[in-house]
């Protein structure tokens, strides 16, 4: 018992002297990394108009989109030759369709395309609940 207390008393101050890990930088998500990241995950965010949404990318190329008010859309996705994510929605305006460069920083996801872009967060599982709107 005395040895364990001495060891703990010596290790704790040494741990406090170690530098804190550097903050992670946003990094691109390409190819299989996108598939792995989205498998069994919900991407949630808020539209430019302030409407909260959930988006799901299903292995095999299907995608679904649902807003808190009930608006739903279905589409397809694939990875282009550069590893960017290309999405075609059935009912969305043309600006929501296209290929997007995706970056991730922890649970924050940002997508940028020629005509549109956006951001959201990974929820860590499949959920039908919505986040609260960003004020």
Reported as a single tens digit per residue, the pLDDT across 12-48 is 333 333 343 444 678 888 878 998 999 999 999 998 8
| Residue 85, in any domain of the structure | yes
Q: Predicted confidence band at 95 (pLDDT cuts at 50, 70, 90)?
A: low
Mean pLDDT, to the nearest integer, of 97-105?
93
Instruction: Look at residue 103 and give its three-state secondary structure.
Output: strand
| Residue 129, in any domain of the structure | no
The tokens of 102 are what? Answer: 């995706």
Cβ(86)–Cβ(98) below 8 Å: yes
Count the domains in the chain.
1
Strand partners, 100: 85
pLDDT of residue 127: 85
Q: What domain range is 38 assigned to?
A: 26-122
- Based on its alpha-carbon atoms, the radius of gyration of the chain, rounded to whole angstroms, reads 20
pLDDT of residue 134: 58
User: In angstroms, rounded to a whole number, what is the distance separating the alpha carbons of residues 63 and 89?
Assistant: 8
The tokens of 129 are what? Answer: 């609940």
If one compares 93 and 128, the residue with the highest pLDDT of the two is 128
| Residue 127, in any domain of the structure | no
CATH code for position 92 = 2.40.128.640
């Amino acid at each position: 018992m005395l040895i364990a207390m001495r060891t703990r008393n010596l290790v704790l101050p040494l741990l406090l002297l170690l530098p804190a890990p550097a903050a992670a930088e946003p990094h691109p998500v390409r190819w299989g990394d996108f598939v792995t990241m989205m498998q069994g995950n919900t991407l949630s965010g808020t539209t430019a108009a302030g409407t909260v949404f959930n988006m799901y990318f299903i292995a095999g190329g299907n995608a679904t989109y649902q807003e808190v008010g009930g608006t739903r859309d279905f589409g397809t996705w694939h990875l282009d030759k550069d590893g960017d994510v290309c999405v075609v929605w059935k009912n969305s305006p043309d600006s929501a369709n296209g290929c997007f460069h995706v970056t991730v920083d922890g649970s924050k996801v940002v997508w940028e395309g020629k005509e549109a872009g956006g951001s959201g967060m990974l929820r860590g599982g499949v959920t039908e609940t919505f986040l609260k709107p960003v004020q």
